[in-house]
């Protein structure tokens, strides 16, 4: 015994009974099969789905800078996507700017977005939002590191 379990499966199918008056199986017209399904995915009727066109870049929120919208709109003209990219940049800024110094987030976000677009055109990015966030996080970290090095007099590298 190797510890595995098994079971036998029996299927009993009905066979039409041959009587003395009927020497042939019943015809398909006589049989009453249910041809319609009761699956709700296949029988959905009168379901109203909203088919609205997405809002364009003119409907972006006021908290998204105009220069960022101008940089993103040729590639993603929908307001929701532009706002999502800006939300990712504000999240990256709040997580990485611990000392509270004012960084030029618009410029860094545009540079990170342009780098992401290059990778998108080469089909090397699976999740563009995550890639944008990662590039922006590295750029913010580089700016903060270069500021620390500049204060200590050990400047090298360019961000």
Q: Which residues sit opposite 56 in a β-bridge?
A: 78
Report the predicted TM-score, pTM, of the whole model to 2 decimal places.
0.60
- Angle subtended at Cα 28 by Cα 14 and Cα 33, rounded to the nearest 5 degrees: 65
Contact 76, 67 (CB under 8 A): no
Mean pLDDT score, 145-149? 77
Contact 84, 113 (CB under 8 A): no
Give the residue among 110, 117, 119 at the shortest CA–CA distance from 86.
110
Interval 72-122: pLDDT, tens = 999 988 999 999 999 999 898 888 876 556 668 889 999 999 999 999 999
Q: How far is CA 115 from CA 112, 118, 124, 126, 139, in A?
A: 5, 5, 12, 14, 11
Interval 6-28: pLDDT, tens = 788 888 888 766 666 656 665 66
What does the pLDDT read at residue 83?
A: 92
What does the pLDDT read at residue 68?
A: 92
């Amino acid at each position: 015994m190797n510890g595995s379990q098994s079971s036998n499966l029996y299927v009993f199918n009905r066979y039409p009974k041959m009587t003395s008056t009927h020497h042939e199986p019943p015809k398909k017209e006589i049989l009453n099969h249910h041809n319609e399904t009761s699956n709700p995915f296949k029988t959905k009727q009168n379901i109203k789905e909203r088919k609205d066109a997405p809002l364009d870049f003119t409907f972006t929120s006021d908290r998204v800078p105009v220069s960022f919208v101008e940089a993103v709109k040729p590639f993603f003209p929908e307001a929701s996507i532009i706002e999502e990219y800006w939300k990712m940049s504000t999240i990256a800024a709040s997580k990485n700017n611990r000392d509270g110094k004012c960084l030029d987030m618009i410029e860094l976000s545009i540079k990170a977005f342009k780098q992401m677009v290059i990778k998108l055109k080469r089909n090397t990015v699976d999740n563009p939002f995550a890639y944008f966030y990662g590039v922006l996080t590295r750029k913010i970290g580089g700016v903060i590191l270069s500021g620390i090095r500049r204060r200590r007099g050990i400047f090298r590298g360019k961000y």
